[in-house]
Structure 1
């Protein structure tokens, strides 16, 4: 295994705040990029105050700012913007998630920055993108998820569309931004290209996840509706009870998998029943097959049920809380629970690096800097220490 990380030598200026921009920066930093977090002087990034705290220190900040250096620059001043102009000379990319037009008002938009460094990649994350009638509107994940279609199809029929328990729109946009940055780096460095702008919006990132919803509507006039714990026309793939009142997910909607499930149930005749024998009629009769499976599963304890499923190699999984995940031996074996030493916390359990690379894996080196501007002297020189 190499000690070299895949993004070693890549320098990123992270000018974003809160979630979307910083989550992109975290992905880059995990794989060895030098990510320089630009924070406003004083309190720093607002994320330092978000989430649960230990002795006044945000646990979320420790994770989202891991592996990053911190410098303080007042972007509202001409002196601060001059610092940015100087830093971009040696940078490979900047990541920002201000409202569109903010960099331009400050005189450090793409046109000016590319005059300083033609190879600079400028990653711009926003609620609605850099163009279009909504471009100037502020946008957060909750609104992007709603306008991008995710909320409409979530939840139960007739209910108020609920939100996922995390800022999913922000992290989706961040992952698309990360993808775009890597493609732009490849275009520049391997194909002899130039710098460019990567424009990632929360709304579009959510919309991109809607599978066949658009062509279904375009050609058939179908508006996909929320379906609760299952997906319409995919059966069986649902949540089923155990004797103790626990629930597990069983996903046996593929024909061979359904046959194996019927063996686990000691009901092989179901695989030949014309209502369930193949994918389409099984989806049309999803409520009935779900009823049969739930009746069977509810007579078995969790251990009896999962043993029967494992014996036939049926896809299943528990519905884990964070307490369950921490104790899961597979998660532990895969190194997804990293205990990182830190002067503030002693050590702290944080998620491991994803994905796993066989030769140049990512690594957690330190948690989010305790104080804004910790790296001022190294990055900006003694005058800014």
Structure 2
């Protein structure tokens, strides 16, 4: 079946994670994504992470559903082909350093003269304007400047990082949101526009009330390990089988249900725990009570009891648990893609799910230049274009 973005054509320029992950999501939703790669080695993501038989295990996923064409954009002739190709697409998605496309005469202001409906989506470390616009910026720098590194980890240790490329992925999500918003606006105005995503801003947008807390409450959020100060119970609790269970019962009605499950219904009216603020002040006492109970039961039994009582809880999963979980299977959250070497590569499913315009299972990332035939019409137009255009 066709995905909801069927009929939208996207030209993906750039490499690494932020831009290509946005391209992956657009392809997941049915857009035709044409990825431009340098001849010879292609996108660096073809070699990143763990490899098997010379191919990255990441590549089948981050390039899934895309088409690959090879163009050396350092070559002026190749840039003319790219210019002609932009006339055939709705969206140009790029994550080069700001200013590079303009130096090649491939900026939005130039391209939109011939293609006024073109949407150009930029993903960069610091955005297209401002004093640091042209500085090199990776996801880790965006995570630091966006504030999330300062709040991640244990309070007695230096800032930690998530185990995935969080800054890049957040920027990709905002790039997709911006693309969809610009395409919707174009359906009204008939005009394209530029979408400017900065990685540090994508991170900062998730930082809740940290700015207001600092200015108006005099509180600068810091690192608090597995808990959020003032929010209880919401922590990782021990189990008798050695695994951990996360339990979140910080809302008053939910805490009442948890107290009943604990066999201590009186806790719900105890002044120390009777409301959100009180539980926050006495979080350590409450965690000790809950931990004493959870440590006497294995995780599966705990999860069954808590689910039956309507108390949100979940086990901390590794990849092994994700692959085995029946809910993951029921929701088709593990796809299996056959890569170029013939290996079956597990891949995260498409998010969100669509009730009617449901996309097909994507094909894995293509071989470099596998779809160079898509350049044929662009090459003809580039050859016939007047000199200097």
**TM-score if structure 1 supplies the norm length?**
0.96
Contact 1:326–1:337 (CA<8 Å) still a contact in 2?
yes
Q: Is 1:146 aligned with 2:154?
A: no
Structure 2: tracts of 5 or more residues without a match: 381-389
Q: Is 1:192 aligned with 2:189?
A: yes
Instruction: Describe how 1:92-241 pairs up with structure 2 within 5 A.
Output: 92-189=90-187, 191-241=188-238
Contact 1:9–1:33 (CA<8 Å) still a contact in 2?
yes
CA deviation vs aligned residue, 1:61-100 (integer Å, no higher than 9, x gap) = 1110011000011111211110111011121010000111
Contact 2:85–2:378 (CA<8 Å) still a contact in 1?
no
Structure 1: tracts of 5 or more residues without a match: none
Q: Is 1:356 aligned with 2:346?
A: no
Q: Is 1:291 aligned with 2:292?
A: no
Work out the CA distance in 1 between the residues paired with 2:339 and 2:53.
Answer: 13
Report deviation, 1:382: 11
Work out the CA distance in 1 between the residues paired with 2:136 and 2:376.
Answer: 31
**TM-score if structure 2 supplies the norm length?**
0.95
Instruction: Describe how 1:27-106 pairs up with structure 2 within 5 A.
Output: 27-106=25-104
Work out the CA distance in 2 between the residues paired with 1:199 and 1:95.
Answer: 10
Aligned to 2:386: none
CA 1:306–1:9 in 2, change beyond 3 Å: closer, same or farther? closer
Report deviation, 1:111: 1.1
Query: Is the partner of 1:271 in helix, strand or coil?
Result: helix
Tell me how large the CA RMSD over aligned residues is. 1.5
Contact 1:23–1:171 (CA<8 Å) still a contact in 2?
yes
Residue-pair matches, total: 380
Contact 2:28–2:350 (CA<8 Å) still a contact in 1?
yes
Report deviation, 1:311: 3.0
Work out the CA distance in 2 between the residues paired with 1:86 and 1:234.
Answer: 56
Work out the CA distance in 2 between the residues paired with 1:230 and 1:268.
Answer: 24
Report deviation, 1:151: 0.4
Query: Is the partner of 2:58 in helix, strand or coil?
Result: helix
Contact 2:154–2:224 (CA<8 Å) still a contact in 1?
yes
Work out the CA distance in 1 between the residues paired with 2:266 and 2:103.
Answer: 70
Would you identify which runs of 4 or more consecutive aligned residues in structure 1 move more than 6 Å?
none
Q: Which of 216, 235, 259 in structure 2 is aligned with 1:262?
A: 259
Work out the CA distance in 1 between the residues paired with 2:189 and 2:379.
Answer: 37
Aligned to 2:371: 375
Q: Which of 347, 350, 353 in structure 1 is aligned with 2:344?
A: 347
Aligned to 1:327: 324
